[in-house]
A and B are shown apart, each in its own frame.
Chain A
Amino acid sequence: RKEVEQDPGPFNVPEGATVAFNCTYSNSASQSFFWYRQDCRKEPKLLMSVYSSGNEDGRFTAQLNRASQYISLLIRDSKLSDSATYLCVVRWVKLVFGAGTILRVKS
């Protein structure tokens, strides 16, 4: 079983749609959680950190459920520019990535 698991997608959505991604992790000692975004042939970049109380950054909302070892990302009012791969990331000592979820937003 992989340490961090994500639905690979792709998620094909129209502009303006709301889309949600989920992620589960296996190590209960995990202490930090992140969502990274990766564009084609580019390096990953931090989208947002994920806090236990849940947090929001504009159109993006992240949630963490430590009991279920589950992380989510909600994107509201999708834009064409949101098309990318979204990587769920968990850290205990090392930083471990999921395989990523592909999002394609279409006009």
Chain B
Amino acid sequence: GAGVSQSPRYKVAKRGQDVALRCDPISGHVSLFWYQQALGQGPEFLTYFQNEAQLDKSGLPSDRFFAERPEGSVSTLKIQRTQQEDSAVYLCASSLAGLGTEAFFGQGTRLTVV
């Protein structure tokens, strides 16, 4: 596709339910980032992949959060046993290799835990 695609766009989960959020980056983009954005806040870094390697997962808030990118393209962010504080917009971004390159964002998945 032409841009970064995320699915689903909206997800309502009951507390304690597991969820999986998908990100399809731009073809050829080796770098992939996940962010969590609460209302009125900037995007908070969760994790970063270069190809299939997860180079930084320092932003994952707890061991309930897990991300993978097994073939270096599509990535999945999984949240186990969701809590109300997990409610946020989850944004995925991708970029070419190179620190100076632009990162392109998907439209995000809005997760509401009830």
Complex: chain B residue closest to A96, CB-CB: B45
Contact-residue bracket for chain B = 20 to 34
When the two chains form their complex, are residues A97 and B108 in contact, meaning their CB atoms are under 8 A apart? no
Cβ of B106 under 8 Å from chain A: yes
Cβ of B102 under 8 Å from chain A: yes
Of A32, A44, A93, A98, the contact of B105 (CB 8 Å cutoff): A44
Cβ of B35 under 8 Å from chain A: yes
A93 to chain B, nearest CB (A): 6
A51 to chain B, nearest CB (A): 9
When the two chains form their complex, are residues B93 and A95 in contact, meaning their CB atoms are under 8 A apart? yes
In whole angstroms, how far apart are the Cα atoms of A7 and B55 in the complex?
Answer: 30
When the two chains form their complex, are residues B56 and A44 in contact, meaning their CB atoms are under 8 A apart? no
When the two chains form their complex, are residues B100 and A49 in contact, meaning their CB atoms are under 8 A apart? yes
B1: chain A residues within 8 A (beta carbon): none
| Residue of A43, A49, A95 contacting most chain B CB atoms (<10 Å) | A43
**What are 30 A-B interface contacts by the 8 Å CB criterion?**
A6-B42, A31-B99, A31-B100, A34-B102, A42-B107, A43-B105, A43-B107, A43-B108, A44-B91, A44-B105, A45-B105, A46-B103, A49-B102, A91-B99, A91-B100, A92-B99, A93-B55, A93-B99, A94-B33, A94-B56, A94-B58, A94-B59, A95-B45, A95-B93, A96-B45, A97-B43, A97-B45, A98-B42, A99-B41, A100-B41
